[in-house]
Amino acid sequence: MRILLQPLSVSELTKQITLALTGPEFQSVAVAGEISNFLHHRSGHMYFSLRDAQSRIKAVMFRGRNQRLGFVPKNGDTLVAMGSIGVYEPNGEYQLYVDLLLPLGMGDFHLAFEQLKDKLDKEGLFDAARKRSLPVLPRRVGVITSPSGAAIRDILHVLTRRYPGVQVLVFPALVQGEGAPASLIQALAAAQETNVDVIIIGRGGGSFEDLVAFNDEGLARAIAGSTIPVVSACGHETDFTIADFVADLRAPTPSAAAEIVVPLQEELIANVASLQSRMVSFVQRKIQADRRYVRNLSQRPVLLRPEHHLNQQRQRLDELVTGLGRYERHGVFVKREKLAGLVGKLETLSPLATLGRGYSICQNERGQILRQSHQVVPGDVVNVTLQEGSLSCIVEGRRT
Amino acid sequence: MSELKFEEALARLEEIVRNLEQGEAALDEALVLFEEGVKLARFCNQQLDQAQAKIEIMMNDGKIETFEVSET
Angle, helices B27-48/A265-298, rounded to nearest 10 degrees: 160
B1: confidence class by pLDDT, cuts 50, 70, 90: very low
When CB atoms are compared, the residue of B17, B45, B56 closest to A170 is: B56
Note the ipTM here.
0.78
When CB atoms are compared, the residue of B20, B51, B54 closest to A279 is: B20
Please answer whether residues A222 and A216 qualify as being in contact, where contact means their C-beta atoms are separated by less than 8 angstroms: no
CA A332, CA A300: separation in Å to the nearest integer?
44
pLDDT value at position A1? Answer: 55
Expressed in angstroms, the distance from the first to the final Cα of chain A is 156
**Chain segment A17-64, per-residue pLDDT in tens:** 998 888 888 888 889 898 999 999 999 999 999 998 889 999 999 998
pLDDT value at position A193? Answer: 93
Q: How far are the Cα atoms of A120, A228, A246 from residue A131, in angstroms, in the given order? A: 15, 11, 8
Spatial neighbors of A137 by CB under 8 A, at least 6 apart, are: A262, A263, A268, B5, B6, B7, B10, B47, B48
Q: What is the CATH number of domain B6-61?
A: 1.10.287
CB atoms within 10 A of CB A386: 12
Q: Do A282 and B21 touch (CB under 8 A)?
A: yes
Give chain A's radius of gyration (CA, Å).
Answer: 59
A256: confidence class by pLDDT, cuts 50, 70, 90: very high
pLDDT value at position A360? Answer: 84
Q: Where in chain A is the domain with CATH 3.40.50.2300?
A: 139-262
Give residue limits of the domains in chain B: 6-61
Nearest residue of A to residue B18 by CA position? A279
Nearest residue of A to residue B21 by CA position? A282
A40 alpha-carbon distance from chain centroid: 38
Q: Do A190 and B58 touch (CB under 8 A)?
A: yes
Please answer whether residues A355 and A387 qualify as being in contact, where contact means their C-beta atoms are separated by less than 8 angstroms: yes
Q: Would the pTM of this model clear 0.80, i.e. be above it?
A: no
B72: confidence class by pLDDT, cuts 50, 70, 90: very low
Residue A306 buriedness (CB in 10 A; 0-12 / 13-18 / 19+): exposed
pLDDT value at position A52? Answer: 87
Q: Do B57 and A271 touch (CB under 8 A)?
A: no
pLDDT value at position A321? Answer: 81
In CATH terms, the fold of domain A10-106 is OB fold (Dihydrolipoamide Acetyltransferase, E2P) (2.40.50)
CB atoms within 10 A of CB B48: 19
Identify the CATH assignment for A139-262 out of 3.30.310.50, 3.40.50.300, 2.60.40.10, 3.40.50.2300. Answer: 3.40.50.2300
Dihedral through CA A367, CA A370, CA A376, CA A379, nearest 10? Answer: 60
Q: Mean pLDDT over residues A360-368, rounded?
A: 86
A387 alpha-carbon distance from chain centroid: 107
- Counted residue by residue, chain B has a size of 72
CA A165, CA A146: separation in Å to the nearest integer?
23
Q: Do B53 and A283 touch (CB under 8 A)?
A: no
Interface residue B5 vs chain A (CB under 8 A): yes
A277 or B68, which is more confident: A277
Please answer whether residues A35 and A76 qualify as being in contact, where contact means their C-beta atoms are separated by less than 8 angstroms: yes
Contacts of A279 in chain B (CB under 8 A): 13, 16-17, 20, 34, 37-38, 41
State whether residue A200 is helix, strand or coil: strand
Nearest residue of A to residue B54 by CA position? A167
Interface residue B14 vs chain A (CB under 8 A): yes
DSSP state of A104: T
Q: Do B38 and A276 touch (CB under 8 A)?
A: yes
